[in-house]
Structures are given as structure tokens and as C-alpha cells.
């Protein structure tokens, strides 16, 4: 079983034990204190550190020192009944003996120990023994311990905060043996609140046997276990009857207007921290703050009580226009008769907001005659398509086309194209069927809207785009038309044209999107994707990546259909940046979540991207098998073709044919440029030069021909290719800094590698050394790899680089250990490896070696929080120890990529 998101805490605790510190681990119920302590015990076993695990619950026996009976027996100490001298010996002579032995004492639930045991624990810490004790808050810590918290050798406090979202998902996957589906993942994230105990209860007690489909493990309906109910019920003990009734009402109905509720009940609920505001609710709304609480409360209500509360909620909303949609939803759940026209209106708005399941719930309440209306069939078809029920959806949409109303035919044609091209992966069929619908439309605005769809489907099918619909005008009154035109224009501009034009179209589309409720929610995500691509191709990759990961995390929390799209986008950027570990994790998730929901047509591209990542990570056979699984009609999409070319190019490189690899990449790159994917094509052309540097003179001309003058990234790639063609090592070293700045560290390192080789051939040893060291630093700082791996140098790990910088600033090993949460022995082992890799003799050589990397040692150290005058240098360590101890740090969890992927 994994560390369940507590790898860093485990690392710090291990270091504290090795340094013989006393630590209080503080965390709320369910935060994983006991689990962490047991992992620490296992870690100490591995490191062969003697330790004793003490359970505070043994103190419930009421016998003084009973919890420490194993400790007393180990040191042959008799507490001696009424013999006061024997008792004093326990507190005076035992602690120094324990400290001298190196035995670590781990205590779970410190407050449950008897007072005598608590005092003994305090004495052990004062004597210098390694002690780790857990508690749920500092208010429960006994005074004998609390008085020693802080100070140079006093108790340290380790707070256990909520797990990050990625840590929660990794923990769930560890428990289940597979990744959760997006809806189940969002449910776990929403209800767990980062609490490991709640995660375990939700995953291990899901009620029905989980099913694994292409989208991941489906847990089924949330099951409230007795332990979950007990955890939540503790928070309700101080509520009076009106407040409890108000809580039941909000738990059943969801957020309601504050003014519709009992003011005193609301005040008490707020005082207890039980109320909050949902960002999607109206400004005057209040709802239950903890998502787990409504599940527990509703689970305790019978059917009649729930119906009664639904009716009461609907009555409270009557006459409140802003809450009309909520009123309709509540009434339908009571089986009350609702006007079909209102049901269709609310269902349409739900669908536009991306709530297909809610729309279907309302449509199922329509009278039988109303279900045959074209508008109803259109909504049902669109909702079923969104829920991936494609056969039933196509039947409904085809029926909706049989109407004289052009607006309905337009919408049905749009949804049919989306179903066929994206969800059924038949873009050529979509082109034929949507063209047939377009031929029936007369209104020019509507024709332009559907013609915009045809551009997307033709690109997916690998068909030429004969014309692009005109750019939208911000003063048009049909905001839906403006949005649709902006989406198409921004997509074309971000992939093929000027980033500034793409951003302006995104701005126009976003403004109109706020003025219409007839456009599907995913259209906003498409605009944001175009903004992301525009920034990335304009040389702002780092900022674009940060924004994209924020969108990804938000989508994961609410099971938004955009999740797979953002995972794909960030995975592709990670591939181009050389961060292959991140790319592999993200693309695996993208494949899974695009199989669940996709409105972009990226499913085949994600599979191809995964194959490319596998190839570059060295698993060529798996990459080629995955590439072969894609049918020809999907390979026609140039995005797919680009990644499959990377797989084939890798085979050429494995076979020792760089020219073949370069030709393979360049051929598909030109195809991409011809099909309005200029920027992706330029990256592939750059790959061709990386694979075959001898081709740089010819391919620099190709790059120059196709680089957009207003896209900064292409200009940097062209500059690098020209420098390779001229054999200009100095220029390459300068371009490497620019590539690192824009967010392409792997390519920057490859650039430095080429410069290093050129300097070496020219006999410029010092310049060659500097380029080599800078290459090491770029790769270590960004956890990246250069491609292709010609003569890849030994790498400094990020931790080795951190330790080296601190040592160069004259910090002693003990100070470095405390700052980094390591043991002194581990720091010295890191330094020995650094000296060997950099070819230096010791600490005195580090400042010059690191300065040669192109960065300021002082700047890095200040950023790390080092202050005060430098310490006197210690004697240099000239090489690795003959018998180094194993590094006690755990291996990183593969499910949690570095940087923005896992950060919260």
C-alpha cells in the first residue's frame, strides 16, 4: 500500500528520526496520522533503525506506564510498585539510556496515554531520544510536552493538511488497482475534502462491485458507511431543532435563498461552519459547506420526508424568477405536474450548461405527446449524445431534422456532426451528413454557423479546407453566431496564424458567450484552449502551462467533460518540453477521460500521443503496437499523423538511421503545415533537425519559409536551426537560454549538447565544460530529458542540485540537512555524487562549477531562504563513501507528476 499522498511528510519524519529530534504530528480525524506512523515504522525497518511503536490507547487501562511496558522490559527497568526510588529511576536513568541506544519511540494518540506515560515521553525527548507522537490538535497535548514545543532542540510540529487532488486520486488508484473514471473521481474529490480516511471509506465501501470500463473504475452510488456517518454526526451535536431542519432542507434541495430560511437557524449553522456558497449558485444563495454532510443527512431520511422537504423547497422558491429553474427541478422530483414548455426551457438551459443528466431527468417527465415534438427530440438527442448513448441519440437527432424550422435543423445538424465526427470517430460521415443539412438552410447566418462546423470536421477527416467562414463582428446582435465564428477563427489562428489574432478572437467570442445562453458550455473551453495554444506558440509556454493545469484541476473536481482535453493539451506540451514522466502520466489520463467524454475529437490524437511518449521513453514495441491499433480513417487527422511519425522516427534512430528519422518527421511536418497546422508542423520540423543535425542547412530554409512572423516560438526554433547549420556554438548557447525561458528545457538541453560537441571539436575545453554543466543544470532544474539521447551526460537530480547550491553557499551539512529535511549522512552522500558527476574535488570547487552553469549561486540560495553570514567551510569530501547507507527517501509516486501537474 502506498504512502497515500504523504510521501513528503514521511521523508521529513524519517530525517527527523535519523537526526534524533522530537516531533508532534498534528492532524484532524482521518488525516492519516496512524497510517503515516506505521509507514514511518516500515521505513525505519528498511533503514535498520531500531524503534518501538507505542499505542496511546493502551493508556485506557489506567495503569501508569503500561503503554511503555515493552520499553521497560527491553532495558530491564522495574518501575517498582510503591518503591519511589525505582519509580524515579524510570524518569532519570531510563531516558539517557534510550537516547544513547539510538532507539526511536513512535507514539500513536499521545493524549490517550496516562499522565505518567506522558511525563516519561517528555523526559525521553529531553534526553535526546528520537520521538514521534501523533495528536489531533495542540489543545490536547499534555503540558509536559507542550512546554517543550519550539526552541533549538524542542519538539517540532508537523501539520497534516488535506491531500492534494492528485494525491487523492493516486490513493484511490492504489486502493482499487486502477484509475477512477472521471465522475467517480470527481465524487471522491468532492466528498473527501482531502481527508485520507474519507477516501478509504468511499473507495473501500462503494456498495456494489466496481466496474472498469474504457473511462476507468466506476464506483456506483455513494454509500454512507457507519464510520462516515459517525465522523459527520459529531459536527451536528450542537444544533437545535430549527437549525437541524434547515440543514435537512438544504441537504435535500441544494442551495436556497438566504432570505427564504429561518435567520436564527442560518446564523447557528454559519457559526458551526456548516454553510457555504457555491460559485455556480446565485449571489444570495446559501448551501451546505461540506459535500459529505448532505450525503449523510439525506441517507438518514425516508422517502416521505425527502418528498416533503422537496415540496417545501419548491414552495419557498415560488415567485422568485431567478430561482425558477431550481423550482422546476424540485417539482419534478416530487412527481408534480409541470408545464411541458417550462420543462423544455429548463432542460435546454441545463444542456447548455453541460448538465446532460439533469436535462434528461426533466425530459423524462414530459407527457408522451410532447416527446415527439422536434424541439424535445433535439434536446433529448443532444443530451443522449453527450452521455455517449450514440445509437439512441442519432435516432432522435435524425427525427429532429424532419421539421420546417431552420433553427431546429441547424441545431440538429450541429449535434449530428458532433456525434459522428467526435463521439463516433467518423469525421468523413460527419462531413457528408452535415453538408446535406447545410444544403437545406437558406438563412446566411445559419449557413455560416454550420459551415464553421464543416471546417472542423474536414480537418479531422484530413480533407482540404476550401474556405473559412468570415470573421465575426463584435457588433452583431446574434451572439451565438459571433461565438461560433470566433471559435472557428480562433482555432485556425492559434494553430496556423498570428497568436495576437487568436487572442483577439477569443476575447470577442468570450464577450458574446456571456450574452447568450444558447451555446453549449464546452464552447467556452474551446475558446480557452485556443488562448492556451496562442500563448504556447507565442513563446509563453510556462504561463500557458500554469493556466492549463488550473483548468485541468478544476475539471477533475467537477467531472467536467473538458478534463480529457486539458490533460491532452498539457501532455503534448510536456512532450515538446522534454518532461516525459509528466507526459506519460497525463496522456494516460487523457486517453482514459477522452474515452469517457470528448467534444474535441482528440481521442485518436491522445492514443497517438501516448505511442509517441512510449517511444521516446524507450518502449518502442509497445509504442508501435499502440500506433498499429489506430484505423486508417483516424490516421488521416494530421495531429494523429504527427505523433505516429514520431514513433516511426524513433524506430529509425534505434536502427541507427538519423537521416531516415529526419525525413519521416519532415514529411509529415509539411503535411501539417499544408493542412493549417503550421505551428505543430514547425515543432515537427524542429524534431527533424534534432534527429538529423546534418539536415539543418536544408531545413532551416523550410523553417524560414513557414515561420509566422508574429509567432515567437517559430523564430526561436529557426534561430537554433540556423546556428546548427553554421556550426555556431556560441549562438547555440545563447539560444539555449531563450528555449529554457520560453518553456522548452529538453530542447534547450539538446541545444547545449550540440554546442558542447562543437566546442569539443574546436578544442575549446573550458567552453565545452561550461556548456556541459549548463546542460546538466537545465535538465536537473526541470526534470527533463533531451532528445534524441546522443551521449546523454550523467544527470544531477533536482535534490543533488539543491544540496550542491546550498553547499556552495558555505552551509554545513547539518544546516543543509535541516533545511532540506534530510539526514546529514544523506546530504554527504548527495555531495559525493555531485563531486563525481561535476568532476570537482570538494566544496571549495562548487561555487565556480555552479557559476559556470550560467546561474547565480547567491540568487538560488536566497530564493531557498538562506540568510545570515555564510558558515565556515567544512573539509572537502573527495569522493563517495566506501559503504554509503541507503537513501531513506521514498521513491516518487508515478501517479503524481511534478510541478503544476500535482501542485494545488
CATH at 19: 3.40.50.300
Give residue-wise pLDDT tens across range 593-619. 888 888 888 999 999 999 999 999 999
Note whether 774 and 733 are within 8 A (CB).
yes
- Claim to verify: residue 16 and residue 49 sit in the same structural domain: yes
Residue 214 maps to a domain: yes
CA pseudo-torsion sign 611, 614, 618, 620:
negative
Amino acid 854: pLDDT: 46
| Contacts of 261 by beta carbon, 8 Å cutoff, 6+ apart | 246, 249, 250, 286, 316
Residue 766 maps to a domain: no
Helix (H, G, I), strand (E, B) or coil at 517: coil
Query: Rounded to whole angstroms, how far apart are CA atoms 822 and 830?
Result: 10
Query: Rounded to whole angstroms, how far apart are CA atoms 347 and 416?
Result: 19
C-alpha distances out from residue 378 to 359, 372, 399, 404, 566, Å: 12, 10, 8, 14, 28
Query: Rounded to whole angstroms, how far apart are CA atoms 576 and 682?
Result: 12
Domain boundary among the residues 160, 191, 211 is at 160
3-state helix, strand, coil in the chain (%, to 5): 65, 5, 30
E strand residue ranges, 191-253:
211-213, 216-218
- Claim to verify: residue 200 and residue 145 sit in the same structural domain: no
CA atoms lying within 13 Å on the CB side of residue 353: 14
Task: Provide the number of structural domains found in the chain.
Answer: 4
Amino acid 259: pLDDT: 92
First to last CA, the chain: 23
Short-list 683, 612, 676, CA closest to 649:
612
Residues forming beta bridges with residue 217, ordered by sequence position: 180, 212
Note whether 499 and 461 are within 8 A (CB).
no
Helix (H, G, I), strand (E, B) or coil at 511: helix
Residues forming beta bridges with residue 131, ordered by sequence position: 22, 105
C-alpha distances out from residue 849 to 208, 767, 776, 804, Å: 60, 12, 11, 10
Q: For residue 529, what is its C-alpha cell?
A: 484552449
What is the separation of C-alpha 660 from the centre of its chain, rounded to a whole number of angstroms?
Answer: 37
Q: Domain range holding 177?
A: 165-223
Residue 506 maps to a domain: no
Amino acid 796: pLDDT: 65
CA pseudo-torsion sign 288, 294, 297, 301:
positive
Mean pLDDT by 10 residues, the chain (904 residues): 69 85 87 87 86 87 86 80 63 89 92 89 90 87 79 78 83 83 87 87 66 74 84 86 94 93 93 81 85 89 94 94 93 92 92 88 90 91 92 96 92 93 89 94 86 83 67 57 85 91 93 81 89 93 89 88 93 94 91 86 94 94 94 90 97 93 96 93 96 93 91 93 95 94 93 92 89 86 85 61 83 83 82 80 80 46 36 31 31 38 35
CA atoms lying within 13 Å on the CB side of residue 598: 27
Note whether 874 and 809 are within 8 A (CB).
no
- Claim to verify: residue 128 and residue 21 sit in the same structural domain: yes
Q: Is the pTM of this model over 0.85?
A: no
- Claim to verify: residue 17 and residue 153 sit in the same structural domain: yes
Domain boundary among the residues 286, 305, 333 is at 333
Domain boundary among the residues 288, 318, 333 is at 333
Amino acid 883: pLDDT: 30
Residue 378 maps to a domain: no
Residue 374 maps to a domain: no
Give residue-wise pLDDT tens across range 174-231. 888 888 888 888 888 888 888 888 888 888 776 445 555 677 888 878 888 888 888 8
Give residue-wise pLDDT tens across range 449-479. 888 888 888 877 878 776 555 444 444 557 7
- Claim to verify: residue 152 and residue 191 sit in the same structural domain: no
C-alpha distances out from residue 585 to 576, 646, 860, Å: 15, 18, 29
Amino acid 207: pLDDT: 47
Angle among Cα 36, 40, 45 to the nearest 5 degrees reads 150
When the pLDDT of each residue in the chain is averaged and rounded to a whole number, the result is 84
Amino acid 436: pLDDT: 95
Amino acid at each position: 500500500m502506498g504512502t497515500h499522498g504523504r510521501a513528503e511528510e514521511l521523508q521529513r519524519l524519517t530525517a527527523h528520526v535519523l537526526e534524533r529530534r522530537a516531533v508532534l504530528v498534528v492532524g484532524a480525524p482521518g488525516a492519516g496520522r496512524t497510517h503515516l506512523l506505521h509507514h514511518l515504522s516500515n521505513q525505519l525497518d528498511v533503514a535498520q533503525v531500531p524503534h518501538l511503536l507505542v499505542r496511546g490507547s493502551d493508556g485506557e487501562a489506567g495503569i501508569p506506564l503500561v503503554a511503555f511496558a515493552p520499553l521497560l522490559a527491553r532495558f530491564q527497568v522495574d518501575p517498582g510498585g510503591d518503591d519511589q526510588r525505582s519509580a524515579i529511576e524510570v524518569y532519570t536513568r531510563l531516558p539517557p539510556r534510550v537516547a544513547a541506544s539510538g532507539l526511536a519511540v513512535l507514539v500513536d494518540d499521545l493524549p490517550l496515554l496516562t499522565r505518567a506515560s506522558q511525563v516519561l515521553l517528555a523526559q525521553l525527548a529531553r534526553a535526546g531520544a528520537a520521538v514521534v507522537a501523533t495528536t489531533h490538535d495542540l489543545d490536547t497535548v499534555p503540558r509536559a510536552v507542550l512546554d517543550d514545543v519550539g526552541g533549538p532542540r524542542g519538539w517540532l510540529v508537523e501539520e497534516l493538511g488535506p491531500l492534494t487532488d492528485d494525491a487523492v486520486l493516486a490513493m484511490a488508484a492504489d486502493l482499487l488497482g486502477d484509475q477512477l473514471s472521471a465522475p467517480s473521481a470527481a465524487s471522491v474529490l468532492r466528498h473527501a475534502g482531502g481527508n485520507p480516511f474519507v477516501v478509504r471509506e468511499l473507495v473501500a465501501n462503494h456498495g456494489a462491485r466496481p466496474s472498469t470500463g474504457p473511462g476507468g473504475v466506476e464506483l456506483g452510488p455513494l454509500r454512507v458507511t457507519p464510520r462516515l456517518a459517525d465522523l459527520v454526526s459529531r459536527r451536528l451535536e450542537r444544533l437545535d431543532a430549527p437549525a437541524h431542519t434547515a440543514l435537512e432542507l438544504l441537504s435535500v434541495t441544494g442551495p436556497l435563498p438566504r432570505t427564504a430560511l429561518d435567520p436564527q437557524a442560518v446564523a447557528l449553522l454559519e457559526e458551526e461552519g456548516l454553510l457555504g456558497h457555491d460559485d455556480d449558485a446565485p449571489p444570495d444563495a446559501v448551501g451546505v459547506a461540506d459535500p459529505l454532510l448532505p450525503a449523510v443527512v439525506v441517507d438518514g431520511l425516508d422517502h416521505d420526508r425527502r418528498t416533503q422537504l422537496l415540496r417545501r423547497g419548491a414552495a419557498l422558491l415560488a415567485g422568485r424568477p431567478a430561482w425558477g429553474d431550481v423550482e422546476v427541478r424540485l417539482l419534478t422530483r416530487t412527481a408534480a405536474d409541470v408545464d411541458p414548455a417550462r420543462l423544455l426551457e429548463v432542460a435546454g438551459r441545463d444542456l447548455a450548461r453541460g448538465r446532460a443528466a439533469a436535462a434528461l431527468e426533466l425530459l423524462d417527465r414530459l407527457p408522451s405527446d410532447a416527446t415527439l415534438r422536434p424541439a424535445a427530440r433535439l434536446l433529448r438527442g443532444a443530451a443522449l449524445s453527450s452521455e455517449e448513448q450514440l445509437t439512441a441519440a442519432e435516432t432522435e437527432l435524425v427525427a429532429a431534422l424532419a421539421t420546417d424550422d431552420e433553427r431546429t435543423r441547424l441545431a440538429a445538424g450541429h449535434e449530428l456532426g458532433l456525434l459522428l465526427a467526435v463521439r463516433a470517430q467518423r469525421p468523413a460521415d460527419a462531413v457528408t451528413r452535415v453538408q446535406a443539412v447545410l444544403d437545406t438552410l437558406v438563412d446566411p447566418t445559419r449557413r455560416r454557423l454550420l459551415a464553421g462546423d464543416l471546417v472542423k470536421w474536414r480537418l479531422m477527416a484530413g480533407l482540404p479546407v476550401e474556405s473559412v467562414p468570415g470573421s465575426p463582428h463584435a457588433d452583431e446582435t446574434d451572439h451565438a453566431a459571433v461565438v461560433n465564428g470566433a471559435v472557428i477563427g480562433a482555432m485556425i489562428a492559434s494553430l496556423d496564424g498570428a497568436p495576437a489574432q487568436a487572442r483577439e478572437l477569443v476575447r470577442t467570442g468570450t464577450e458574446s458567450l456571456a450574452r447568450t445562453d444558447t451555446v453549449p458550455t464546452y464552447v467556452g473551453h474551446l475558446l480557452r484552449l485556443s488562448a492556451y495554444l496562442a500563448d504556447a506558440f507565442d513563446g509563453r509556454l510556462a504561463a500557458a502551462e500554469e493556466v492549463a493545469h488550473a483548468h485541468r484541476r478544476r475539471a477533475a473536481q467537477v467531472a467536467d467533460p473538458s478534463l480529457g482535453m486539458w490533460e491532452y493539451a498539457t501532455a503534448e506540451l510536456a512532450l515538446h518540453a522534454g518532461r516525459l514522466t509528466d507526459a506519460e502520466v497525463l496522456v494516460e489520463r487523457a486517453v482514459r477521460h477522452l474515452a469517457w467524454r470528448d467534444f474535441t475529437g482528440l481521442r485518436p490524437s491522445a492514443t497517438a500521443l501516448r505511442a509517441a511518449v512510449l517511444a521516446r521513453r524507450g518502449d518502442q514495441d509497445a509504442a508501435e503496437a499502440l500506433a498499429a491499433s489506430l484505423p486508417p480513417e483516424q490516421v488521416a487527422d494530421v495531429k494523429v499523423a504527427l505523433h505516429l511519425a514520431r514513433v516511426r522516427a524513433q524506430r529509425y534512430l534505434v536502427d541507427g538511421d538519423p537521416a531516415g528519422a529526419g525525413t519521416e518527421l519532415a514529411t509529415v511536418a509539411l503535411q501539417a503545415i499544408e493542412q493549417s497546422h503550421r505551428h505543430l508542423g514547425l515543432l515537427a520540423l524542429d524534431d527533424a533537425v534534432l534527429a538529423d543535425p546534418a539536415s539543418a542547412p536544408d531545413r532551416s530554409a523550410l523553417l524560414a519559409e513557414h515561420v509566422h512572423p508574429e509567432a515567437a516560438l517559430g523564430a526561436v526554433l529557426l534561430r537554433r536551426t540556423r546556428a546548427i547549420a553554421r556550426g555556431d556554438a556560441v549562438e547555440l548557447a545563447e539560444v539555449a537560454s531563450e528555449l529554457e525561458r520560453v518553456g522548452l528545457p529538453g530542447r534547450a538541453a539538446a541545444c547545449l549538447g550540440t554546442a558542447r560537441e562543437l566546442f569539443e571539436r574546436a578544442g575549446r575545453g573550458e567552453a565545452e565544460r561550461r556548456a556541459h554543466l549548463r546542460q546538466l543544470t537545465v535538465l536537473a532544474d526541470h526534470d527533463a530529458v533531451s532528445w534524441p539521447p546522443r551521449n546523454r551526460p550523467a544527470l544531477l537530480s533536482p535534490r543533488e542540485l539543491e544540496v550542491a547550491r546550498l553547499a556552495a553557499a558555505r552551509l554545513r551539512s547539518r544546516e543543509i540537512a535541516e533545511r532540506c529535511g534530510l539526514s546529514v549522512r544523506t546530504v554527504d552522500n548527495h555531495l559525493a555524487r555531485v563531486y563525481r558527476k561535476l568532476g570537482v574535488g570538494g566544496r571549495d570547487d562548487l561555487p565556480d562549477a555552479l557559476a559556470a552553469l550560467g546561474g547565480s549561486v547567491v540568487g538560488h540560495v536566497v530564493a531557498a531562504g538562506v540568510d545570515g553570514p555564510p558558515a565556515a567551510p567544512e573539509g572537502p569530501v573527495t569522493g563517495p563513501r566506501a559503504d554509503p547507507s541507503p537513501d531513506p527517501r521514498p521513491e516518487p509516486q508515478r501517479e503524481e507528476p511534478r510541478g503544476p501537474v500535482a501542485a494545488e
